[in-house]
Each structure stands twice: as structure tokens, then as C-alpha cells.
Amino acid sequence: MNQYVRLGVNIDHVATLRNARGGTDPNLLQMALAVEEAGADGITIHLREDRRHVRDDDVWLLRDHLRTPMNLEMAATDEMVRIALKATPKACCIVPEHRREVTTEGGLDLVNQVSQIGAQVAKLSDAGIEVSLFIDPNTEQIQAAHEIGAPVIELHTGEYANAATPEQRDSKLKRLKEGAMFAHRLGLIVNAGHGLTKFNVAPIVSIGGMYELNIGHSLVARALMVGLPEAVREFRWIMDRACR
């Protein structure tokens, strides 16, 4: 039997819709509170260098009004670390960021950035922020996360989600399971996310010791059909069934 797996909802694309017309509709805070009310365990936002969805003022507003933990995704830049140290969210997830990407592509290369990212992690951790590192399920990267001293990793599920055949999907799932097991042996907390949908989430929930999943695009897209609270409840229902 698996334990309860937390659902973190990434609301970036609510902000994308708002920004399409430059006004305040849909209201990001109102939507975040509705997501919480519907059963999400946390709210995730990614403050990108280009502010293409969530903006600085959103960070402060959400920080002041959310009832569940706020997880701030960010690149390991001095600007973002400065903002995080001022905002002190419950958690920060450091992700790679490239200007032209549509969404986060691949995990961090920690192996080649141990001292740079290690320094950022130390500053954030000293401020009481729980830092997680977004990485592919690769033992060298997981080992580097451990050496850097981050308490949490988030495993990138994009390759699993985008697998072209059932065989590929099984092999990507196996890598995620092995990665999670290796990380647990090192004492790391393991989260996962990217590309998860109602149809592919259950096997990820069933990975032993999984702590939290962060789900954004497919949940917000589903909300167009059934409403945001119902979309959250649907994901929660599927996750709870997979937990058993």
C-alpha cells in the first residue's frame, strides 16, 4: 500500500490566460484559493525571467493569502534568489530555464554546477526555505543533489509523459522508480512533475515513497471543460485511488 501523495497545483496557465488581455481576469488569487478549497495541498508558480505568466506582484499577493504552502519555481539566478529571499515562500524548486523554451525542458545539470547551485541552495536553506532541485531520474544528478545539500528533488516526468510507445513508457517509468529508490536511500524527499495528466498520473503516484506531484497544464486545460475546483477534485480522486 502506498501512502498519501500530495497534489501541488501549478497555476501558471491561469496567469497566461489573464495576461492574454493584460487585465486582471481571471483573478489569480481567487483561482488559487479555489484550487486550495477543492483539495490541493499546495500552489506552485514559476516566476520566469521573462515574466511570461506569473509576475512579481503575484508572488507577494499569493504569499500573503495562500493557506497551503507556496512553491516558487525559479532559475538559479541572482535575481531570482534575491526575490525568493525577500518573499520567503515555504519552498523553492530550482529549474533550468532557457529563453526560447515553451516549457521547462529537461532537468538541471547539477553535476557540472555543484558549486554555483550549491551556493544558491545554501542561501535559500539558511533563510528557512525548503529547496528542491528539478532533475532527470539519473543517478549522477541525484547524487549531486545530495552532495549539494538540497533536502528535496523533483523528478522530471516529461520523458515518461511523452513516451511514444508502451515499451518506452514502461522503460521511462522504471527509470523514475529506480531514481526514486536511489534518492530515498540517500535520505532525499522525492517529488515529481511535468506532463502529468489524468491518464498517466496513477503509475507515478504508485512509486514507493512519492511525496508530492506538481501538475499544471493538463489540470488547467481540463478546468476549461469542468471548472477549476472540479478539475482538482478529479486529479485528487485519481491519485487517491492509485494510493490504495
Residue 106, Ramachandran bin (φ over 0: left; ψ between -120 and 50: alpha; else beta):
left
* Nearer to ligand PXP (CB atom), residue 146 or residue 194: 194
Q: Which is nearer to ligand PXP, 1 or 20 (CB)?
A: 20
d(Cα 20, Cα 85) in Å, to the nearest integer? 29
CB of 170 to ligand PXP, least distance (A): 21
The amino acid at 139: T
Choosing from 13, 46, 53, 146, which is the catalytic residue? 46
226 by DSSP, 3-state: which?
Answer: helix
217: annotated active-site residue: no
- Least Å from the CB of residue 116 to ligand PXP: 19
Active site residue 178: no
- Closest of 104, 98, 91 to residue 157, by C-alpha: 104
Q: How far apart are CA 101 and CA 135, in angstroms?
A: 17
Q: How many CB atoms lie within 10 A of CB 101?
A: 11
Minimum gap (Å) between residue 172 Cβ and ligand PXP? 15
Catalytic residue among 73, 97, 154, 159: 73
User: Within a 10 A sphere around the Cβ of 128, how many other Cβ atoms?
Assistant: 8
Per the annotation, the verdict on 13 as an active-site residue is no
Cβ of residue 221: shortest distance to ligand PXP, in angstroms?
9
Look-up: residue for cell 484550487?
35
Task: Give the binding site for ligand PXP (CB under 6 A).
Answer: 10, 12, 46, 73, 93, 95, 103-104, 134, 154, 193-196, 214-218
Residues marked active site are found at 46, 73, 194
